[in-house]
Amino acid sequence: PLAIDVLFVVTVIGTLALVLGGASRAAARVSPGALRGVRVAAVAAGGWLALTAALTDHGFFDDFYALPPHMLLAVGPPLLGALALIASGRLDRLLAAMPPSWPIGVQVFRIAVEIVLWRLAVAGVAPGIMTFTGRNVDILVGLTAPIVAYFCFVRRTWPARVAWWWNWAGVLVLLNVVVHAQLSAPTRFRVFATEPATTFIGDLPYIWLPAVLVPLAWALHAASLRQLRSRP
């Protein structure tokens, strides 16, 4: 349905704008160089959206039998790039200037993603296994994100270790979703004979689920864990 397509595109663009906006505010408190870095990241994000859209338009991600899997080229570069930056410590000053509630609270976008997946399943486009009526409990991460952010870092009635374990739970929940998506796609390694298969992620605009939103969710968990590690 067109309304679901629009909701998904708004979720992608809105989440990226929210993340880059929060990073810009933190960078402005660090240095002009940090602010320039965020602007470069914004340009890179726009370029990645355009590149993946162009490849999808040419049917690149429709080939689920290719080796190596083409979908890895959608997930891999942004995920590995973000994790490398965070692990290297180059973003530590930026993360120190950012409220610890922010990387957690912004994960509320996962509620909208789960609503989209559910409506796609109802429309017969996505398999039920990918929704909260199947084996996908990722909506719980989105629902609890603002609660954990508020009680751990605004009210401070919960210890920071709650946020620590919440982040690791979110990492594992998202890994579960990705594994089920891969095992229900029409590849050489298919395990779940779902109808329909998970082919919608090879089309526009849903290529941005593995290419943008999944890496972003993992990167936000990594950023939050890095923040928590540096706290006394």
Are the CB atoms for 171 and 218 separated by under 8 Å? yes
Angstrom distance (rounded) from CA 95 to CA 34: 11
Mean pLDDT across 118-122: 94
> What confidence tens digit (pLDDT) does each residue in 160-191 have?
999 999 999 999 999 999 988 888 887 777 77
Mean pLDDT across 142-163: 95
Mean pLDDT across 76-94: 92
Overall pTM > 0.85:
yes
- What pLDDT shows up at residue 151? 97
Lowest mean pLDDT among 1-15, 119-133, 141-155, 191-205: 191-205
Mean pLDDT across 8-33: 95
- What pLDDT shows up at residue 62? 87
Please tell me which residue, 144 or 197, carries the higher pLDDT value.
Answer: 144
Are the CB atoms for 136 and 192 separated by under 8 Å? no
DSSP class of residue 196?
Answer: S
Residue in the block written with tokens 């890179």: 44
Angstrom distance (rounded) from CA 131 to CA 84: 30
Angstrom distance (rounded) from CA 160 to CA 217: 20
Residue 232 in this model has a pLDDT that exceeds 70: no
Cα atoms found within 13 Å of the Cα of residue 2, Cβ hemisphere only: 0
Average pLDDT value over all residues in the chain: 92
Q: Which is nearest to 94 in space by CA: 21, 149, 29? A: 29
Rg (CA), the chain: 18
